[in-house]
Chain A
Amino acid sequence: MKFKLALVSAALLACGTVNAAEPTNQELLDLIKSQQKEIENLKKSVEEADEKAEASVEAAEKTMSNAADSKLSFGGYGELHYNNIEDKESIDFHRFVTFMGYEFNEDIRFFSELEVEHSLSGDGKPGEVELEQAYVEIDVTDATSIKSGLFLVPVGILNETHEPPTFYGVERNPVEKNIIPSTWWEAGAGVTTELAAGITADFAIHSGLEVPNDGGVYDFNIRSGRQKVAKANADSFAYTARIKYTAIPGLELAASIQHQTDLTQGVLNADANLYTAHAIYNVDGFGIRALYAGWDVDSEQAELAGQDKQDGFFVEPSYRFNDEFGVFARYSEWDNVAGNSIDTEMEQTNVGFNYWPHQNVVFKFDLERRDGAQDGDGFNLGVGYQF
């Protein structure tokens, strides 16, 4: 044991002799510099690796959000109706609509809506293929945009917003159908401007109606006057102005006025004005919609037939219990020959419910009772969607 310890001691002494020369300051400085350089290289490598990882994450996220950045947009809505009124039963895929839009740049965009109505179009078929919107819109300031092309006339509640999940009742209310007459589109140019937060004004110059005036039963019938911008007579234009207030959540108040320079497009010199006003209020599940629309037609021929006055209104209270279920009642009254002295007023009451299994899908049911100058009781069933 003693012998082993002696050997180790001798070895250590020998080592001490060999390494007796201490490193110089220069050698230490060089060593520190070299280590610093190594540290800097390592830091740089780590930074580069971080940058690469960050770039990879950003590239991956960019790919993930590409769909939202697409300049092309696509959407649509549709509704199937079953009507059973006074034993007259029918089932009809009333509307199948596709939206397509394209954003040329941040300020200029295109929007279109193409519809197949009643499933089947063609000679002798019940339906139509209709171009309901196709316009270019340009933002001129943050608050103002102009548009030109074929667009929905800014009047009433349903004319611009009529996707089935957004309203109660299988069929649209008869006042906006027969008086306004929705869905109503024209060609021309318009401007929309936000006057203040929640206050919007619209003004449009556009093609006019051309009501029948050949002595037939549809003379001065407003709905029959829609030319649908299909090689339309453009002798006499029309002007529409609207003001809308939506500054309080749940509340919408709007009024519009339209002037038609000649409803007969140069035949009878029948200028006319349409006045509309509506209110919508939804609070805590309770909702109410009310609308008035009325025509004042300046024409002797229209006056003789009592069609110089055509007007109507509806009131629709509703209650939505939750996201899925709501009930409503609607009373509508309208008269397309209100200027005569006989009782020609139509009345209609609908009571029913909407069931939304998804916010964009709706099943509808309502009971319908027709009174006044029309008769009939029955019910309607429907399913609708939007995306």
Chain B
Amino acid sequence: MVPSEAKKYLSKEQFIHQAFSYLEKGVEPTVKTLWLNDEIQEKITEILEHSYPKLRLRYWQHDDQTVWFLDEIGKERPISFGISVKSQRINLVKVLEFRESRGGEIHMQAFTEQFDQIKLTDDNKLNKHIDGITGATMSVSAMKKIARVALMLDKEVR
């Protein structure tokens, strides 16, 4: 409802470290760039109902795993998410920064772990029901959409 100062839960570096914690010492994921051409923006728009306000996205890849950092507005202010996709299923999702005044509960593990192993259906929807949070409808919706975008982008770079 009201914009507010960002609550920072996790940095991008910490998220990458968590997502690739299984890698042996000295092995690093490759940093790559995906340019958001018209075709990709069209697919994003189908999910977010608006295009993504970037020309390109950096992502981190190792074997069949990709890590993405995406923002989406909940009610009024952007929420920053980190999403890791492995074998075309989400294996880690976190709220990195939250700027809305309501709906901060979406950062809690009890909520985010519902996304574990979720994947896309043929029509780019999530294949599992996510229990919402009362009074945080817009933040929950933003997180569900961003999960779909990350899974779709992962498919694009395969």
Contacts and interface: CB of A to CB of B under 8 A. Distances in A.
B110 A111 contact: no
A75 B102 CA distance: 15
B7 A142 contact: yes
Nearest to B77: A68
Contacts of A109: 2-4
A61 B3 contact: no
A101 to B, nearest CB: 6
Given A65-B53, A101-B76, A247 B132 contact: no
Which residue among A145, A246, A285 has the maximum number of chain B CB atoms within 10 Å of its CB?
A246
Contact of B105 (A142, A160, A161, A246): A246
Interface string A352-385: 0000000100000000000000000000000000
B155 interface: no
Given A57-B55, A109-B2, A249-B110, 19 more contacts: A64-B55, A68-B53, A68-B73, A101-B3, A101-B76, A106-B4, A107-B5, A139-B4, A145-B4, A160-B135, A194-B104, A197-B105, A198-B108, A249-B108, A249-B114, A249-B132, A250-B133, A282-B131, A285-B129
Interface string B116-144: 00000000000001111111110001000
Given A109-B2, A111-B2, A280 B131 contact: no
Interface string A47-77: 0000000000100110011011001010100
B110 A247 contact: yes
B54 interface: yes
B23 interface: no
B111 interface: yes
B108 A61 contact: no
A137 interface: yes
Contacts of B56: 57
B2 A246 contact: no
Interface of A: 57, 60-61, 64-65, 67-68, 71, 73, 75, 99, 101, 103, 106-107, 109, 111, 137, 139, 142, 145, 157, 160-161, 166, 194, 197-198, 246-250, 252, 280, 282-285, 359
Interface string B36-57: 0000000000000000011110
Contact of B54 (A64, A71, A103, A137): A64
Nearest to A73: B76
Interface residues of B, number: 34
A71 B99 CA distance: 13
A359 B2 contact: no
15 contacts: A61-B54, A71-B3, A106-B6, A137-B101, A145-B4, A160-B135, A197-B105, A198-B108, A246-B133, A247-B108, A248-B110, A249-B130, A249-B131, A282-B134, A284-B131
A139 B7 CA distance: 11
A246 B135 contact: yes
A144 B125 CA distance: 37
Contacts of A106: 4-6
Given A65-B53, A109-B4, A282 B105 contact: no
Contact of A247 (B78, B105, B130, B131): B105
B1 interface: yes
A361 to B, nearest CB: 12
B130 to A, nearest CB: 8
A244 to B, nearest CB: 9
A247 B133 CA distance: 9
A246 B136 CA distance: 10
A161 B108 contact: no
Contacts of A65: 53-54
A249 B2 contact: no
A109 B101 CA distance: 11
